[in-house]
Amino acid sequence: MASFIKTENSNFIFNESNYNILIVEDSRSVNKILVHTFSELNYNCFSSFCLKEAYHILENNKIDFIMLDINLPDGNSFELIKKLENSWKKIFVLTTESDIQFRDLSYQKGIIDFILKDKEFFHKINEIPKTIEKLEKNRFKTILIIDDSFVVQKQIKNIFENRLYKVKTACNSKEALEILNKGIIDLIFLDLELKNDNGLNFLKKNKTEIINIRKIPVMIISGSISSSTTREALRNGAVDVIKKPYVIEELILKVDLWIDYKRKDEELLNSRQILQEYKDSVDEISIVSKANSSGVITYVNDKFCEISGYSKKELLGKNHNIVRHKDSLSSTFKDIWYTISVLKKAWQGNIKNKKKDGTFYWVKALIKPILNKNNEVVEYIGLRTDITEDIQVNNYFKTKLDTTVLNLKDAINLSKEYENAINESNILSRLDLNFKFTYANDQFCLLTGFNKNELLGKSQSIIFHKDFDNLYIKDFQKTVKTGKIWKGLIHNKSKNGTSYWLNTTAIPIKNETQEIIEYLIIEQDITELFELHKDIEETQREMIYKIGEIGESRSSETGNHVKRVASYSKELALLAGLSKEDAELLFTASPMHDIGKIGIADEILKKEESLTEQEVEVMKTHTQIGFDIFKNSNKPILKSAAMIALTHHEKWDGSGYPKALKGEDIHIFGRITAITDVFDALGSKRVYKEAWKDEDIIILFKEQKAKHFDPNLVDLFINNLPVFLKIRNTYTDDVNLY
């Protein structure tokens, strides 16, 4: 059997504010409680009290989850369940019915769960958010069904795809092994009676890899199960044996249970790995030792041995007194032992130690007791930093500034010299507690264009550039108010409006009682470096446009087409909630969406009459060609360009090419570019066609909503049409942008 490929699941952060919940409940009190419960958790809630209101909300909003009462004033909700059974909307039924047949039928129609309106109702409601989060995490879990009955395959596949699992199917062991070799499988349904095959033999043969190494839960499912079969299945690693016909609800509960168990096991392994990483990091930068509850050394790292001069063999089993220097006071060690063993608290301080060769070293130490659940000391861990050089420097300056060597006048003069050196080499200013200028040096005035009289008493905001992020300013002020040093880049403007960038360090200055009395701002002008970086980025973007034009020019498109598509795409990305960084990435990469056309022969690409069926297939290959050009790049822009080239002809309903991807399986960059590319192509005049009227393009978009195009993106585009028309008017084909 070939070695199985192991890959990692996608990282996933669950954010409640990304989900819309519709509550359909005629009881106003229950409805209100549900809305309050989910709104408090940051979900976006819509409320209705009858079917008519529910239909109206569904038609005008993107709804992810529905809390649905069965009996409503204007009808039975089962008709709504039937209508939505093939949609991506997930339904939780609120009911007083406990009929098993009704529940089984409903599960087949796409219901996620039934919430009985009994005395435990409100407790169950509080469990729904956990279920929703698990459902979203299911998108990264894959179930494999090994069964030669297509009816069984389809039924189980529909049930678990409704719960957002990825589901793969195999009719025999050969197909199953091929699927297992290609990627991660999180749970297996295995039929014992496969065509020309035996499921139990398959399990026995592959037990080591499936059960022991990959730890995949295997659920046996069969029409004929004996006690001996059950025993053999469990003995060979199966987690459950289920007899057909099965109860759907039982099947769902068991699968969710094992997937959740596997998820928690993965999280535990991940936590252990992270913990080990933390431990390795501490070992890398700190001088570490451990001691048992009696103070005997049980572990030292290499840095401890390196600084002390002792080997591990010489240290293990000894007391820390082995490195105690004669200058260290006994009272210090009594204080340490009392703090960590009696008070059971961490001790921090500086300690002078002795090396094996008799010389000394200083460490800044943190010694912490490790306690068990009974609050008993299990061991002590010591983390130390070598501060020998710091102590020596401090002692040197203490000696230099001692009044027996330097009188007060000399000390003041020395201080002035340091101040002058800093003043000459930096842009300096000082702010009061209200962030108003109290001082600015000559270099500050020269850069800003303001004289000192114009600055003193004025707010720091007088020099902030209008593009400087307000959140960044708040972070700067919040940090220094807490007494911490703030470092970062600040975008300012001079008196004459010139823009400049400063590498800034803001230091809170404290008096002897540790109260902040002012803020010292030390800065360096990095405008030239920043502008150089900006020029490099602009040059890269210009090159990308030129590359994009190569593909477009071969099919008689204009250079401005790629600029319009790039600008449309950026605006639509921001409207869709993508970050500024992702929107900028799409803006830069989208001009290369048709770069693959360079690989299409002129007799097909520039053919004036209709293409033959075979020529159409050749033309479609430009998506794969474009992907292949950039696929091996590690640069984010080119990786994005590869994805856009490959997916911008995919369609929401799965009828596109080259992969026939469907819905949100199409990368968001591809879905956005699909809309912006079509909008610009239809709205532009070409030698072979006239430009469409805007109203005709909008009619087409509405017709192709949820067919060709992402329905949410279509709504955003149409509702913000003036934004896109403004871009089109800016980059017309008769404007030369270079």
Give the model's pLDDT for residue 55: 92
The two tokens of residue 623 are 């998506």
Q: Name the architecture of domain 286-392.
A: 2-Layer Sandwich (3.30)
According to the model, what pLDDT value does residue 339 have? 93
Q: Does the pLDDT at position 372 exceed 80? A: yes
- Inter-CA distances, 416 with 148, 400, 412, 419, 517, Å: 89, 15, 6, 5, 21
The more confidently predicted of residues 469 and 561 is 561
Q: How confident is the model at residue 388 (pLDDT cuts 50, 70, 90)?
A: confident
Is residue 417 predicted with pLDDT exceeding 80? no
Residues 283 and 271: their CA atoms lie apart, in Å, by 18
Among the residue ranges 192-201, 440-449, 525-534, the one predicted with the least confidence is 525-534
> Is residue 565 within 8 Å of residue 676, measured between CB atoms?
yes
Residue 717: the pLDDT is 94
pLDDT at 545: 52
Amino acid letter, 106 = S
pLDDT of residue 190: 92
C-alpha to C-alpha distance for 291 and 297, rounded to whole angstroms: 4
Task: Tell me the mean pLDDT in the region 136-165.
Answer: 89
pLDDT of residue 687: 58
Residue range 16-135, CATH number? 3.40.50.2300
Please give the Cα distance from 564 to 695 (Å, whole number).
19
- What is d(CA 245, CA 675) in angstroms, rounded to the nearest whole number? 47
Mean pLDDT, rounded, of the chain: 83
* Per-residue pLDDT, 666: 95
Query: Per-residue confidence at 475, pLDDT binned at 50, 70, 90?
Result: confident
Two tokens at 95? Answer: 């009911």
Provide the 10 A C-beta neighbour count for residue 412. 11
Contact in structure between 441 and 428 (CB atoms under 8 Å) = yes
As a whole number of angstroms, the distance between CA 128 and CA 570 comes to: 36
Q: How far is CA 652 from CA 93, 389, 667, 671, 708, in A?
A: 28, 65, 11, 8, 5
Distance, in Å, from the CA atom of 683 to the CA atom of 680, rounded to the nearest integer, reads: 5
Higher pLDDT, 413 or 495: 495
Q: Summarize the confidence of residues 48-77 as an average pLDDT.
A: 90
Q: How far apart are CA 676 and CA 648, in angstroms?
A: 10
Task: Using the predicted structure, report yes or no on whether residue 482 has a pLDDT greater than 80.
Answer: yes
| Structure confidence at residue 610 as a pLDDT band (50, 70, 90) | confident
Stretch 507-516: mean pLDDT, rounded?
A: 86
Query: What local confidence, expressed as pLDDT, does residue 170 receive?
Result: 93
Q: Which range (346-360, 545-559, 688-702) has the least confidence?
A: 545-559
Question: What are 258-277's pLDDT values in tens digits?
Answer: 988 888 887 777 777 766 76
Single-letter amino acid, residue 416:
K
Least confident of 232-241, 412-421, 709-718: 412-421
Residue 345 has pLDDT above 50, yes or no: yes
pLDDT of residue 5: 33
- Domain segments of the chain as ranges: 16-135, 141-269, 286-392, 408-525, 535-730
> What pLDDT is attached to residue 292?
93
The confidence band for 736, taking pLDDT boundaries of 50, 70 and 90, is very low
Query: Are 21 and 66 spatial neighbours (Cβ–Cβ below 8 Å)?
Result: yes
Mean pLDDT, range 683-706, rounded to an integer: 86
pLDDT for the residue numbered 542: 53
Span 640-662, average pLDDT: 92
Whether residue 696 is predicted with pLDDT greater than 80 in this model: the reply is yes
pLDDT in tens, 283-337: 677 899 999 989 899 999 999 999 999 999 999 999 999 999 988 888 888 999 9
Helices (H), 631-734: 636-647, 668-683, 694-704, 711-719, 721-730
pLDDT of residue 183: 86
pLDDT at 10: 46
Element (H, E) at 416: helix 408-425
Is the pLDDT confidence value at 647 over 60? Answer: yes
Of 162-171, 206-215, 395-404, 625-634, give the lowest mean pLDDT range: 395-404
pLDDT: is 405 or 252 the higher one? 252
CATH class belonging to 535-730 = mainly alpha
Higher per-residue pLDDT: 681 or 399: 681
In whole angstroms, what is the distance from residue 526 CA to residue 491 CA?
A: 10
Nearby residues of 567 by Cβ (< 8 Å), 6 or more positions away = 587, 727, 730, 731
Average pLDDT score over residue span 398-408: 52
Specify whether the CB–CB gap between 163 and 140 falls below 8 A.
Answer: no
Q: 3-state secondary structure string, 28-94? A: HHHHHHHHHHHHHCCCEEEEECCHHHHHHHHHHCCCCEEEEECEECCEECHHHHHHCCCCCCEEEEE
What does the pLDDT average to over 39-45? 92
Which residues does 153 contact at the CB level (< 8 Å), separation at least 6?
145, 147, 169, 171
Whether residue 1 is predicted with pLDDT greater than 50 in this model: the reply is: no
Per the DSSP assignment, residues forming a β-bridge with 170 are: 146
Rounded average pLDDT over 423-430: 75
Class of domain 408-525: alpha beta
Phi-psi region of 322 (alpha: psi -120 to 50; beta: other; left: phi over 0): alpha
Per-residue DSSP letter, 192? S
What Å distances lie between residue 455 and 431, 445, 474, 517, 722, CA to CA? 11, 9, 21, 19, 43
Can 141-269 and 535-730 be said to share one CATH topology?
A: no
Q: What is the mean pLDDT of residues 338-363?
A: 92
Q: In what order do the strands lie in the sheet with 218-222?
A: 166-170, 142-146, 187-191, 218-222, 240-243
Placement of tokens 């230099």 in the chain: 400
Q: Residue 8 has what pLDDT?
A: 40
Give me the pLDDT at residue 2, please.
37
> Which of 38-42, 65-69, 235-239, 412-416 bottoms out in mean pLDDT, i.e. has the lowest?
412-416
Q: Which comes out higher in pLDDT, residue 170 or 686?
A: 170
Between residues 390 and 359, which one has the greater pLDDT? Answer: 359
Specify the 3-state DSSP secondary structure of 406: coil
Q: Which of 331, 314, 335 is nearest to 323 (CA)?
A: 314
Which helix (H) or strand (E) segment holds residue 618: the answer is helix 613-620
Which residue, 148, 129, 224, 226, is CA-closest to 189?
Answer: 148
Q: Which residue in this structure is represented by tokens 């590319």?
A: 677
> Per residue in 87-129, pLDDT tens?
788 888 887 766 555 666 666 566 888 888 878 888 888 888 8
pLDDT, tens digit, for every residue of 528-545? 655 654 554 554 555 555
Out of 3.40.50.2300, 2.60.120.200, 3.30.110.60, 2.102.10.10, the CATH code matching 141-269 is 3.40.50.2300
Instruction: Please tell me the pTM assigned to this model.
Output: 0.43
Structure tokens at 401: 């500034």
Burial class (CB in 10 A: 0-12, 13-18, 19+), 478: exposed
